[in-house]
Amino acid sequence: MKVLVAGGAGYIGSVTTEMLCDAGHDVVVFDNLERGYREAIDPRAKFLQGDLRCKENIKSALLIERPEAVIHFAAYIEVGESMKEPMPFFENNVSGSLNLMSAMVESGCKKLIFSSTCATYGTPERMPMDETLPQLPESVYGESKYLCEHIFKWGGDIHDIECVFLRYFNACGATDKYGEAHNPESHLIPLILQVAQGKREKIFIFGDDYETRDGTCVRDYIHIKDLAQAHILALKPGVQGSFNLGNGDGYTVKDVIEVCREVTGHPIPTELEPRRAGDCTALVADATKAKTELGWNPQFADLKTIVQSAWDWHQSHPNGYTTS
């Protein structure tokens, strides 16, 4: 298939582009390079630099390239940042998605796979979390993705565009070529690995007074390759709706630090900090629907395997990506 990947220079977009190319798809990456990296774009893909906030950019890309599907990753992603500077999240994530949907309607593209998040659920009333839970986001980031889902749902229903919402739990790990290099970094695993690399003195634990096994937040960590695989499966004609993507295993922040100690052999000093605004206590997926309806079969569920792949990538890319 010919697929346009919006945000293909970012972390999840770069790995999905690599795997789409491996699977023989014809890929066009559309990215503004604000937070992504030119170097992270698979050379087999065609690159168009553009910004979803500019409707003409995405409209002309779709009219010229005529992809059969769009996979949309382009967004601001940090919960903490969204609670300090909310408006850029609505502007980039929501109005960018609105422009994308309008451009898809105008260009006749009939399939969208959207990078959504478990943060759209807020604190769930039961665990593990399936797709029937109410969506009550507790952060601006989660709210922005929730609003995008609504735009796509209505646009898709009325204009006959198949929309798939993949609600990720915590993406991590790397392929040999592409890994996680946000700047500034805010995610737990890469930050811990920066301590092991000697770039940071210690890792801050954001709160140990949550109602969990050891007081720290619980998350479901999923390998980036497994995540990317789900996007490829979702391209199949007829697939639409929402799917939670996680392994169903909950790890506390302290568990993750311990696994990183085992993998890196570094003591990883820690310091306790207050809770981070917008963080939910625990988020663990029930991915039964993705497994039964998409045929999704995660291959790298073990946290040690995931952290090892991230560590290998950070060691082979000690400065992350070097060009913006």
Catalytic residues: 141
Neighbouring C-alpha atoms within 13 Å toward the C-beta of 216? 19
Contact 206, 270 (CB under 8 A): no
CA-CA distance, 178 to 19, in Å (whole number)? Answer: 11
User: What is the nearest approach in angstroms of ligand UDP to the Cβ of residue 186?
Assistant: 5
| 48 versus 217: smaller Cβ distance to ligand UDP | 217
User: What is the nearest approach in angstroms of ligand UDP to the Cβ of residue 303?
Assistant: 13
| 208 versus 293: smaller Cβ distance to ligand UDP | 208
SS3 content of the chain, % helix, strand, coil (to 5): 40, 20, 40
Q: Which three-class secondary structure state does DSSP give residue 194?
A: helix
Q: Which residue is nearest to ligand UDP (CB)?
A: 217
Q: Which of 198, 180, 248 is nearest to 219 (CA)?
A: 248
Q: Which of 40, 29, 136 is nearest to 74 (CA)?
A: 29
| 6 versus 172: smaller Cβ distance to ligand UDP | 172
Which residues are registered as beta bridge partners of 163? 112
CA distances, 122 to each of 44, 116, 219, 221, 226 (Å): 38, 13, 13, 17, 24
Strands 2-6 and 26-31: parallel
| 47 versus 73: smaller Cβ distance to ligand UDP | 73
- Judged by the rule CB under 6 A, the positions of this chain that interact with ligand UDP are 79, 170, 186-188, 191, 203-206, 217, 219, 253, 276, 279
User: What is the nearest approach in angstroms of ligand UDP to the Cβ of residue 49?
Assistant: 27
Structure tokens at 83: 């609670």
User: What is the nearest approach in angstroms of ligand UDP to the Cβ of residue 253?
Assistant: 4
| 104 versus 259: smaller Cβ distance to ligand UDP | 259
| 102 versus 186: smaller Cβ distance to ligand UDP | 186
What is 41-107 written as a DSSP string?
S-TTSEEEE--TTSHHHHHHHHHHH--SEEEE--S---HHHHHHSHHHHIIIIIIHHHHHHHHHHHH
User: What is the nearest approach in angstroms of ligand UDP to the Cβ of residue 171?
Assistant: 8
User: What is the nearest approach in angstroms of ligand UDP to the Cβ of residue 208?
Assistant: 9
